[in-house]
């Protein structure tokens, strides 16, 4: 398993992580607003297919690092992303669409127990460009690192510094990707 996302199809990538379990705990961090807000975005979900909800992003709450790089200043006060559940099979599968700007894409989380740990496979699909794949890959990579930190009881890594380093790495890795 590589820490880095891999392209698995046109406009689609996957990230895999082995996280401290049990599976019900990881599921709670995916589905409960307060826990999800510690590593990604808050927002109450009704765990039914077709249910609509908003993801509320406030990156300054994810780590001690509060100030975003200049290119992200416009979202420093947070933003919402309209979303809709497309698949839900607790505690193993959660999928939803989300809209960022004018683009709607789909994120799928698959959880599998591995002893005391949990294998998480995140698939992000329906991305329109290589640039989108680079941006979302570095974002998810950063967010999943903070999820792992929270589950392991560690101080969350600095979100923006980590994200900036990963953006450069994904630009290098995905430079020749064709959608």
pLDDT at 90 over 60: yes
DSSP one-letter string for 144-171 = HHHHHHHHHTPPPPPHHHHHHHHHHHHH
Q: What is the number of residues in the chain?
A: 179
SS3 (DSSP) at 43: coil
pTM to 2 decimals? 0.95
First to last CA, the chain: 23
Residue with more model confidence, 76 or 47: 47
Query: Residue 102: helix, strand or coil by DSSP?
Result: coil
State how far the Cα of 39 lies from the Cα of 61, in Å rounded to an integer.
8
pLDDT band at 2, cuts 50/70/90? low
| Better-scored residue on pLDDT, 88 or 70 | 88
Other Cβ atoms within 10 Å of 179 Cβ, number: 14
User: Which tokens belong to 155?
Assistant: 């101080």
Which domains, and CATH codes, for the chain?
6-174 (3.30.530.20)
Condensed to tens digits (0 to 9), the pLDDT of residues 34-46 reads 999 999 999 999 9
Residue 117: in which H helix or E strand, if any? strand 117-125
Question: What is the per-residue pLDDT across 126-150, written as a single tens digit (0 to 9) for each?
Answer: 999 888 999 999 999 999 999 999 9
């Amino acid at each position: 398993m590589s820490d880095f996302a891999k392209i698995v199809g046109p406009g689609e990538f996957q990230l895999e992580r082995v996280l401290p379990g049990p599976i019900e705990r990881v599921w709670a961090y995916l589905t409960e607003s307060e826990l999800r807000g510690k590593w990604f975005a808050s927002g109450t979900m009704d765990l039914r297919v077709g249910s609509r909800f908003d993801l509320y992003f406030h990156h300054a709450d994810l780590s001690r690092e509060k100030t975003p790089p200049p290119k992200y200043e416009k979202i420093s006060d947070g933003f919402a992303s309209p979303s809709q559940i497309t698949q839900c099979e607790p505690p193993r599968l959660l999928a939803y669409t989300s809209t960022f700007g004018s683009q709607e894409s789909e994120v799928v989380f698959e959880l599998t127990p591995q002893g005391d740990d949990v294998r998480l496979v995140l698939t992000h699909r329906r991305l329109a460009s290589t640039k989108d794949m680079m941006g979302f890959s570095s974002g998810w990579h950063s967010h999943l690192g903070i999820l792992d930190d929270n589950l392991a009881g560690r101080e969350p890594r600095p979100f923006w510094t980590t994200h900036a380093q990963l953006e450069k790495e994904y630009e290098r890795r995905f430079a020749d990707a064709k959608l």
